[in-house]
């Protein structure tokens, strides 16, 4: 009993923090305070133009507008489900904009911000949540894999892809997305072992949004997540996930190290899922409103807006323009979603195999014939 | 050139040839490098092709299959060795939820030319988890193809054809027959991969088998001939897709059909075949399709495996029952 208690004390999750999912955390890399004050970090200088800063704001605002529209469309019955990124915009845009054109990203199912940064048409994401397809973009063309729903599985794909990059002698890197819950998955741990053993050019980008649906981070990890990396033999860093500048700087550095042959990095982007896990979830059952209030003060968009305004990098004309662009985007997403045609029924038989099998071809023919039997009939 | 090869050596030569033919072929697995694999199927390949093409992986089967997915996305053709049949299950998630579905998920944009080599089946006196027949799990999964070779010729050509094929293939190797020999003509034109083959003609009963049970079925046919019964033996060669046209043709002549496999009979490959043969050959059947297979128990400790595994006598018993209708 004593030994057990001692062990628990030794692995106190975050010394000094009253609760591990509240935002005051040690070791948090920050370049922009929640109040919008630009600060420097000794290890992470950020070389960025005013135009790029305005671009980041535009990204953040537009993906949030998309997210709001998607949630509304789900509520109106036009999407089967929606996984909101509310609160995680900076983590995703910072990471997505750190990628070079020929880098490859492996998302979970919530990386709409990264999809945006990779030039994926939002409608190609909406079609997944509407049930038209499993994602309509070309993963290789976009440098952005299809969404992977089984938690953590994509970390191995990313690592294997990075092993391929190594064999090709290419100078590109791979970014694997995962959440805090995924760090408990065996496959994620296997991915980090393979990545370390082969020194693969892959960066693990973990958005610690504090909850795996309802289960808080304390149940997944008794140490800060970024410290896990040490056990695998590569660097781990914890960045303020609501600070788009810090995320951009940290992810750029990690990807550059990977491209230079220095192997993997684990990035813990400390953030918070402001919305529900998905539109099917009810977060009031497992977390307090006070927690939300505290995180609301650290909103990723508000702090960048404050900085841009105060420093004169952007004015109200710019912000109004982004708002108007957001409304146009939302209108396009809405009309495009409503206009999506259902896929032809027999299309489910297509692409099961690259080389169709005779039994499946026969089953397809039977299905088509069965369907045809209703045409002009009572059905 | 014709040479006498064991199944194991035929696989080794087939892998070597596939690696020579295509620089994108990468072998991955546990102990497949310096050691050459626990069954020595990859013997000498790392020495000749290097550590980047014959990869001793960390000891993690999901890791092997998951990284193979990424390599395939990057244009490689991974050939994954699972050390023993019972160890494929840690990789089952990757195989079933990812490898099998990615081509469909991507609407044909991505292909998964991955070969999953698994030494399968019992009869070697091993401890638990080393004698399993997991083919039905994979054959039940859309997106996968499942091949089970029975002889050195099919081993030599089949592994090369599987590696060149665009779809993921579970390639089952009959581990207790690794040392069986036959003459392999390495200049011949191979038979297509997904075709069954009549390996012994006969008139009274059609006996179907694949992998290690083909030899057992042939032995049964030999013994039956001594009693004046003529068994037609068909080596299915592929479990998914099933190639049953030669089976239907045969059953229409014999009116009787017995399916033999080591896997447990309930909801196994034999059940699917029985259903299809019944649907297609209903008016030709003189007897119900019978199944000979493992019992619905965990694979037993090795002192009992001879009781569990179908043998010549159990096949002949089924033939007798079929003839008795």
Judged by DSSP in three states, B251 sits in: helix
Domain extents in chain A: 15-338, 345-379
Does A378 have pLDDT greater than 60? no
What domains appear along chain B, each with residue ranges and CATH number? Answer: 2-185 (3.40.50.970), 197-324 (3.40.50.920)
Which residues of chain B have a pLDDT value below 50?
none
Q: Which residue has the tokens 């390495």?
A: B186
Do the Cβ atoms of B241 and A359 come within 8 Å? yes
Do the Cβ atoms of A153 and B98 come within 8 Å? yes
Do the Cβ atoms of A351 and B107 come within 8 Å? yes
Buried b vs exposed e over B245-280: b needs ≥16 C-beta within 10 Å? ebbbebbeebbbbbbbbbbbbeebbbbbbbebbeeb
* Residue B75 C-alpha, separation from nearest chain A C-alpha, in angstroms: 8
Q: What is the pLDDT of residue B262?
A: 98
Q: What is the pLDDT of residue A379?
A: 46
Buried b vs exposed e over B133-171: b needs ≥16 C-beta within 10 Å? bbbbbbbebbbbbbbbbbbbbbbbbbbbbbbebebbbbb
Which residues of A are catalytically annotated?
273, 277, 286
Does A2 have pLDDT greater than 60? no
Q: What is the pLDDT of residue A375?
A: 73
Asked if residues A100 and A48 have their Cβ atoms less than 8 Å apart, the reply is: no
Question: Which pLDDT band holds residue A1 (cuts at 50, 70, 90)?
Answer: very low
* Segment A141-167 mean pLDDT: 98
Mean pLDDT for chain A overall? 93
Q: How confident is the model over A208-252, as pLDDT tens digits? A: 999 999 999 999 999 999 999 999 999 999 999 999 999 999 999
Tokens of A338: 């409503």
Do the Cβ atoms of A351 and B110 come within 8 Å? no
* Residue B67 C-alpha, separation from nearest chain A C-alpha, in angstroms: 4
**What is the rounded CA–CA span in Å between residue B129 and residue A160?**
27
Query: Which of B129, B26, B15, B13 shows the shortest CA–CA distance to B75?
Result: B26
Q: What is the pLDDT of residue A7?
A: 37
Query: Which of B149, B168, B146 shows the shortest CA–CA distance to B158?
Result: B149
Do the Cβ atoms of A352 and B57 come within 8 Å? no
Contacts of A145 in chain B (CB under 8 A): 73
The pTM for the full model equals 0.95
Q: How confident is the model over A17-42, as pLDDT tens digits? A: 445 566 666 679 999 999 999 999 99
Q: How confident is the model over A301-327, as pLDDT tens digits? A: 999 999 999 999 999 999 999 999 999
* Residue B193 C-alpha, separation from nearest chain A C-alpha, in angstroms: 12
Q: What is the pLDDT of residue A27?
A: 79
Do the Cβ atoms of B62 and A187 come within 8 Å? yes
Closest chain B residue to the Cα of A195, Cα to Cα: B67
Q: How confident is the model over A109-128, as pLDDT tens digits? A: 999 999 999 999 999 999 99
Q: What is the pLDDT of residue B158?
A: 98
**What is the rounded CA–CA span in Å between residue A362 and residue A177?**
40
**What is the rounded CA–CA span in Å between residue A308 and residue A61?**
13
Do the Cβ atoms of A157 and B70 come within 8 Å? yes
Nearest to B70 among A163, A190, A350 (CB): A163
- Sign of CA pseudo-dihedral A158, A163, A168, A169: positive
Contacts of B69 in chain A (CB under 8 A): 156-157, 160
* Segment A160-164 mean pLDDT: 98
Full DSSP string of A106-149:
E--S--HHHHHHTT--HHHHHHHHHTS-S--S-HHHHTBPPP--
**What is the rounded CA–CA span in Å between residue B199 and residue A165?**
46
Which residues of B are catalytically annotated?
130
Q: How confident is the model over A182-198, as pLDDT tens digits? A: 999 999 999 999 999 99
Asked if residues B65 and A155 have their Cβ atoms less than 8 Å apart, the reply is: no
> How big is the A-B interface in CB pairs under 8 Å?
138
Interface test with A, best of B50, B52, B63 (most A CBs within 10 A): B63
Q: What is the pLDDT of residue A19?
A: 57
Q: How confident is the model over B219-252, as pLDDT tens digits? A: 999 999 999 999 999 999 999 999 999 999 999 9
Q: What is the pLDDT of residue A9?
A: 39
Q: Which residue has the tokens 């299959």?
A: B65
Do the Cβ atoms of B104 and A186 come within 8 Å? no
Do the Cβ atoms of A161 and B74 come within 8 Å? yes
Nearest to B58 among A140, A193, A358 (CB): A193
Cβ atoms within 10 Å of B291's Cβ, excluding its own: 21
Tokens of A317: 């004309």
* Residue A358 C-alpha, separation from nearest chain B C-alpha, in angstroms: 8
**What is the rounded CA–CA span in Å between residue A269 and residue A92?**
9
> A15-338, what's its fold?
Rossmann fold (3.40.50)
- Sign of CA pseudo-dihedral A11, A12, A13, A15: negative
Q: Is A197 on the interface with B (CB under 8 A)?
A: yes
Judged by DSSP in three states, B237 sits in: coil
* Residue B316 C-alpha, separation from nearest chain A C-alpha, in angstroms: 31
Buried b vs exposed e over A140-161: b needs ≥16 C-beta within 10 Å? eebbbbbbbebbbbbbbbbbbb
Q: What is the pLDDT of residue A11?
A: 39
Interface test with A, best of B24, B60, B66, B162 (most A CBs within 10 A): B66
ipTM: 0.97
């Amino acid at each position: 009993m004593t030994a057990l208690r001692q062990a628990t004390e030794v692995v106190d999750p975050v010394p000094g923090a009253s609760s591990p999912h509240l935002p005051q955390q040690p070791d948090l890399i920050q370049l922009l305070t929640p109040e919008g004050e630009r600060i420097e970090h000794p290890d992470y200088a950020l070389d960025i133009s005013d135009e790029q800063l305005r671009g980041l704001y535009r990204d953040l605002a537009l993906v949030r507008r998309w997210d709001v529209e998607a949630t509304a469309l789900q509520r109106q019955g036009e999407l089967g489900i929606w996984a909101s990124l509310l609160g995680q915009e900076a983590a995703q845009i910072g990471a997505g904009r750190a990628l070079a054109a020929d880098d490859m990203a492996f998302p979970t199912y919530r990386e709409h911000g990264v999809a945006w940064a990779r030039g994926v048409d939002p409608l190609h994401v909406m079609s997944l949540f509407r049930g038209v397809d499993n994602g309509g973009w070309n993963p290789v063309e976009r440098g952005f894999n299809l969404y992977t729903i089984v938690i953590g599985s994509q970390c191995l794909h990313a690592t294997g892809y990075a092993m391929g990059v190594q064999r090709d002698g290419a100078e590109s890197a791979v970014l694997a997305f995962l959440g805090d819950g995924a760090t408990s998955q065996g496959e994620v741990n296997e991915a980090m072992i393979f990545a370390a053993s082969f020194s693969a050019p892959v960066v693990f980008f973990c958005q610690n949004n504090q909850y795996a649906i309802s289960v808080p981070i304390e149940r997944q990890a008794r140490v800060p997540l970024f410290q896990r990396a040490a056990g695998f033999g590569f660097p781990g860093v914890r960045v303020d996930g609501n600070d788009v500048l810090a995320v951009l700087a940290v992810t750029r550095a990690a990807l550059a190290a990977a491209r230079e042959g220095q192997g993997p990095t684990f990035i813990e982007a400390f953030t918070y899922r402001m919305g529900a896990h998905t539109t099917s979830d009810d977060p009031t059952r497992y977390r307090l409103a006070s927690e939300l209030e505290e995180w609301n003060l650290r909103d990723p968009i508000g702090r960048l807006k404050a900085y841009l305004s105060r420093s004169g990098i952007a004015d109200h004309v710019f912000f109004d323009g982004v708002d108007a662009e957001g409304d146009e985007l939302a209108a396009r997403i809405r009309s495009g979603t409503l206009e999506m045609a259902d896929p032809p029924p027999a299309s489910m038989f297509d692409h099961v195999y690259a080389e169709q099998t005779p039994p499946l071809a026969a089953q397809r023919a039977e299905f088509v014939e069965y369907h045809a039997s209703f045409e002009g009939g009572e059905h | 050139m014709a040479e006498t090869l064991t199944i194991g050596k035929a696989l080794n030569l087939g892998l070597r040839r596939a690696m020579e033919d295509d620089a994108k072929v990468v072998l991955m697995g546990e102990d497949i490098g310096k050691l050459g694999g626990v069954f020595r199927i990859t013997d000498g390949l790392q020495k000749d092709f290097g550590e980047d093409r014959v990869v001793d992986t960390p000891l993690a089967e999901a890791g092997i299959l998951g990284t193979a997915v990424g390599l395939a996305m990057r244009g490689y053709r991974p050939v994954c060795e699972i050390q023993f049949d019972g160890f494929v299950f840690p990789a089952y998630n990757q195989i079933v939820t990812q490898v099998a579905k990615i081509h469909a998920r991507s609407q044909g944009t991505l292909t998964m030319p991955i070969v999953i080599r698994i030494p399968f089946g019992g009869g070697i006196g091993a401890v638990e988890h080393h004698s399993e027949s997991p083919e039905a799990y994979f054959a039940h999964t859309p997106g996968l193809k499942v091949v089970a070779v029975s002889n050195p010729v099919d081993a030599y050509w089949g592994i090369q054809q599987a590696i060149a094929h665009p779809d993921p293939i579970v390639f089952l190797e009959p581990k207790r027959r690794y040392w069986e020999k036959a003459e392999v003509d390495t200049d011949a034109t191979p038979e297509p991969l997904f075709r069954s083959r009549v390996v012994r003609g006969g008139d009274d009963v059609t006996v179907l088998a694949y992998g290690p049970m083909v030899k057992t079925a042939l032995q049964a046919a030999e013994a039956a001939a001594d009693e004046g019964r003529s068994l037609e033996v068909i080596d299915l060669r592929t479990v998914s897709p099933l190639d049953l046209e030669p089976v239907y043709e045969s059953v229409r002549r014999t009116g009787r059909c017995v399916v033999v496999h080591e896997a447990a009979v309930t909801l196994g490959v034999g059940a699917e075949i029985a259903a299809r043969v019944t649907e297609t050959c209903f008016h030709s059947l003189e007897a119900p399709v019978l199944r000979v297979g493992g019992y619905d128990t965990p694979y037993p400790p090795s002192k009992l495996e001879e009781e569990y595994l179908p043998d010549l006598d159990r096949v002949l018993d089924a033939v007798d029952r079929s003839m008795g209708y």
